[in-house]
Amino acid sequence: MNQFIDWITQPWPWYVAGPMIGLTVPTLLLIGNKTFGISSSLRHVCAICVPAGIPFFTYNWKKEMWNMLFVLGVLIGGFIATNYLANPNDFILADQTKADLTALGITDFSGLMPSDIFDWSVLFTAKGLLFFVIGGFLVGFGTRYAGGCTSGHAIMGISSLQWPSLVATIFFMLGGFVMTHLLLGPLMSLVGF
For the four alpha carbons of 62, 74, 15 and 176, in that order, the dihedral sign comes to: positive
Mean pLDDT of 91-98: 84
30, 17 Cβ separation under 8 angstroms: no
User: Which pLDDT value is given to residue 167?
Assistant: 92
Residues 6+ apart with CB under 8 A from 53: none
* Residue 178, pLDDT above cutoff 90: yes
Q: Is the pTM of this model over 0.85?
A: no
Q: What is the pLDDT of residues 34-60, one digit of tens each?
A: 877 788 788 888 888 877 778 878 888
User: Which pLDDT value is given to residue 73?
Assistant: 92
Domain boundaries defined on the chain: 1-89, 91-193
Q: Residue 122: name the closest of 113, 131, 135 by CA.
A: 131
Confidence of residue 193 (pLDDT cuts 50, 70, 90): low
